[in-house]
């Protein structure tokens, strides 16, 4: 049995190196560059208008008074998607990337996010255009639908591939990894045993997910703004306390991004390659632009105009990577923990390293408590959104509500496995599947780029005439 497990681990490791390797990362970012050119650098030319018509609308009470029927509001759709993207990777992942790729990784993370804004925009636009409505009036959309209904029925096999990858990946990236983080946070904060944490997580997840997208949307619309503001304010306090060191941090970021020095006798240019790879990987893994997961949530929006919902994707990537990930990066770089003896191995985990960075600047152990609370909320929100992603993948594959119910129950029970620290191999395999999800999605985005460009041109030209 051990020999079999070892072989599975070896095969998965090889595939994972491709799924999250340089070629795939360049393809993900390259798709964003191509789409950006096709929509005339939308994230630059219309950024002010996008902010006004996304986060700016939250100051209006109209959305709160509207009955969205079987679907959810545009804001609930974006918070459900943000719940999946704003996760432990924004803290632990960014910290690990800086330790591995240096300060320069932050610059390449920003580059990935800049072009990822349009990748996410294109995904949501297509999900909205090609979504379907069930007998209850609920919308369902995502890569599987814009592959089948956009590219054509003959490509349905590619949609099935996407759903199989997404359906199984949800148990890893969206469950086991997150349950483990919650369990660790509850143990440190309240001394709650892992088994008790697992049962608690499973019950909460079951209560929310069994209520469908309406209940998930209500919970995430409360949870995501709270946890985001909490972490952003804490991070800003950390930055303000070391405000005089900010120019030096920017200097390290830009010099590290373009440093061609060799390290330890390695190849000339090794540092820039590592910085670029880590930055791209963290940017993509954090905001999930190109993976095809977030548009599944956005497709449930009650709004009718595809581009009107799609511009939320630009804001989503901006807040996830440019704001939240950058706060983690600045805290790590301002704290000086990169100079600690032993590097990342000196800490129990990447999350512990992030906690050490906050503790270095804030008094006592306050910084560590902030990180633990943030990891708890970030991880819980990710579980809820990925439960919905997986549900829609299995619904597309089977068209059976019974199968979906079984999936929800099984998904909830797997939270116990994750909280107990088990299922490491399952998580590793799911991580690989998560990376492979991008392949069918990117094929669809490139093939339907003409549709994205045409709808974008029509929408923005009409709204500019209306003064919106």
The structural domains of the chain, with segments of one domain joined by +, span 14-465
Provide the pLDDT for residue 271: 66
- Domain at 14-465: CATH architecture: Up-down Bundle (1.20)
First to last CA, the chain: 63
How far apart are the C-alpha atoms of 179 and 461, rounded to whole Å? 46
Residue ranges of the chain with pLDDT lower than 70? 1-2, 58-70, 260-271, 422-424, 426-427, 464-468
Q: Could you give the angle at which helices 2-19 and 424-436 cross, rounded to 10 degrees?
A: 30
Sign of the CA dihedral running 370, 74, 217, 439: negative
| Tally of CB atoms within 10 A around 146 | 29
Burial letters 340-362, b for 16+ CB under 10 A, else e = eeeebeebeebbbbbbbbbbbbb
Question: Count of residues for the chain?
Answer: 468
Nearest to 279 by CA among 326, 324, 327: 326
The pLDDT of residue 431 is: 75
User: Which of 428, 445, 420 lies closest to 171, judged by CA?
Assistant: 428
The residue with tokens 């440190």 is 188
Do the beta carbons of residue 418 and residue 180 sit within 8 Å?
yes
pTM (2 decimals)? 0.92
- How many helices and strands (H and E) does the chain possess? 24, 2
What whole-number distance in Å separates Cα of residue 307 and Cα of residue 167?
27
The whole-number pLDDT of residue 262 equals: 42
Tokens describing residue 262? 């060799």
- Model confidence pLDDT, tens digit, residues 411-431: 999 999 989 876 667 667 777
pLDDT of amino acid 268: 45
Distance between CA 290 and CA 121 in Å, rounded? 10
- Could you tell me which residues come within 8 angstroms of residue 23 by beta carbon, excluding any fewer than 6 positions away? none
Determine the pLDDT at residue 68.
63
């Amino acid at each position: 049995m051990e020999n079999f497990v070892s072989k599975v681990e070896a095969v998965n490791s090889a595939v994972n190196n491709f799924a999250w390797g340089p070629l795939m990362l360049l393809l993900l970012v390259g798709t964003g560059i191509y789409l950006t050119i096709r929509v005339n650098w939308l994230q630059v030319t219309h950024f002010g208008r996008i902010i006004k018509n996304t986060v700016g609308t939250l100051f209006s009470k109209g959305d709160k008074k509207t009955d969205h029927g079987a679907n959810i509001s545009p804001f609930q759709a974006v918070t459900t998607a943000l719940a999946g993207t704003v996760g432990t990777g924004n803290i632990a992942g960014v910290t690990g990337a800086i330790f591995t790729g240096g300060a320069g990784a932050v610059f390449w993370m920003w580059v990935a996010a800049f072009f990822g804004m349009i990748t996410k925009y294109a995904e949501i636009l297509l999900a909205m255009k090609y979504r379907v409505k069930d007998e209850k009036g609920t919308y369902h959309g995502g890569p599987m639908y814009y592959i089948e209904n956009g590219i054509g029925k003959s490509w349905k096999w590619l949609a099935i591939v996407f759903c199989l990858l997404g359906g199984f990946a949800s148990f890893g990236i969206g469950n086991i990894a997150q349950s483990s983080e919650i369990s660790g946070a509850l143990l440190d904060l309240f001394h709650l045993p892992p088994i008790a944490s697992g049962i608690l997580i499973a019950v909460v997840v079951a209560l929310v997910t069994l209520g469908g997208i309406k209940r998930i949307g209500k919970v995430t619309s409360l949870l995501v703004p709270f946890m985001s503001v909490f972490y952003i304010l804490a991070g800003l306090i950390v930055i303000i306390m070391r405000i005089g060191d900010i120019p030096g941090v920017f200097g390290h970021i830009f010099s590290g991004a373009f440093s061609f020095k060799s390290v330890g006798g390695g190849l000339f240019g090794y540092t820039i390659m590592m910085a670029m790879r880590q930055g791209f990987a963290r940017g993509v893994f954090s905001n999930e632009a190109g993976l095809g997961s977030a548009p599944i949530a956005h497709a449930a929006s009650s709004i009718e105009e595809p581009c009107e919902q799609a511009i939320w994707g630009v804001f989503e990537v901006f807040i996830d990577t440019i704001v939240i990930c950058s706060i983690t990066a600045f805290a790590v770089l301002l704290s000086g923990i990169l100079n600690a003896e032993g590097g990342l191995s000196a800490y129990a985990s990447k999350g512990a390293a992030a906690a050490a960075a906050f503790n270095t600047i804030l008094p006592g152990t306050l910084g560590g408590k902030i990180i633990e609370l943030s990891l708890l909320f970030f991880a819980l929100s990710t579980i809820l959104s990925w439960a919905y992603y997986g549900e829609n993948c299995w619904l597309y594959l089977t068209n059976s509500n019974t199968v979906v119910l079984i999936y929800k129950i099984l998904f909830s029970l797997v939270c116990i496995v994750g909280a107990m620290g088990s299922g490491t191999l399952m998580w590793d395999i799911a991580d690989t599947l998560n990376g492979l999800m991008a392949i069918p999605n990117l094929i669809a985005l490139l093939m339907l780029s003409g549709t994205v460009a045409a709808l974008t041109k029509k929408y923005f030209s009409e709204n500019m005439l209306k003064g919106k």
